[in-house]
A and B are shown apart, each in its own frame.
Chain A
Amino acid sequence: GQQLNQSPQSMFIQEGEDVSMNCTSSSIFNTWLWYKQDPGEGPVLLIALYKAGELTSNGRLTAQFGITRKDSFLNISASIPSDVGIYFCAGLSGRGKSTFGDGTTLTVKP
């Protein structure tokens, strides 16, 4: 089946630093979605990307849909303590069929 490689697996950063994580795949996806999950909760949608090359921002978050449609990155600028959590990328291949990355665990030190 399809697989997504998400990196890094974990990050420990200082408050105020920028963060970058990415997902790559051997398969093409129609849609890339980025989610944040807090412990014991379901994933919350952060950004949705629909076109190759598309760059989209949501506050301090910026994500891009790779030009080859096989990769995507998420940047978080000026991190704050509440950014702590697990970030997942998901590739959709039609009618909601999703493949998830393994997640990036972000720790922000005040």
Chain B
Amino acid sequence: GAVVSQHPSRVICKSGTSVKIECRSLDFQATTMFWYRQFPKQSLMLMATSNEGSKATYEQGVEKDKFLINHASLTLSTLTVTSAHPEDSSFYICSALPMRVTEVNEKLFFGSGTQLSVL
């Protein structure tokens, strides 16, 4: 099956520092990846759509200068939380959409998530 690797799985950082999270599709190429945020016992909230070779598209209310997204290749997207503050503490998850999909076989595969704790 399709595998999406997300790293690190857990990170603790000091307030004001930046944290980078990587999302890799291991056995398929993905022109589109997605980043979500999830609070305890809540659903996934889409933050942004990461497009290979172009700028990310951010959902309403998500600060693009705060959450920097880079999709430099067909298998890697990164999310950098800049100048992190305690309120940024959350579970961040990525997903990848395989490149060769149509409406009849569209699937999203998720990484295992990153628990960010900002002290």
List chain A positions with a Cβ less than 8 A from chain B.
30-31, 33, 35, 40-45, 48, 50-51, 88, 90, 92, 94-98, 100-103, 105
**Chain B positions within 8 Å of A42 at CB level:** 4, 6, 93, 95, 110-113
- Residue in A41, A88, A94 with the greatest tally of chain B CB atoms within 10 Å: A41
Contacting pair B110 A35 (CB below 8 A): yes
B7 CB to closest chain A CB (Å) equals 12
**Chain B positions within 8 Å of A105 at CB level:** 41
Q: How many A-B residue pairs lie within 8 Å, measured between CB atoms?
A: 68
B105 CB–A CB distance under 8 Å: yes
One of A30, A88, A90 near B103 (C-beta < 8 A): A30
**Chain A positions within 8 Å of B103 at CB level:** 30-31, 50, 94
**Chain A positions within 8 Å of B41 at CB level:** 105
B44 CB–A CB distance under 8 Å: yes
**Chain B positions within 8 Å of A101 at CB level:** 43
List 6 A-B pairs, Cβ < 8 Å: A51-B104, A88-B44, A95-B32, A95-B97, A95-B106, A96-B106
Interface residues of B in 17-54 (CB under 8 A from A): 32, 34, 41-44, 46, 49
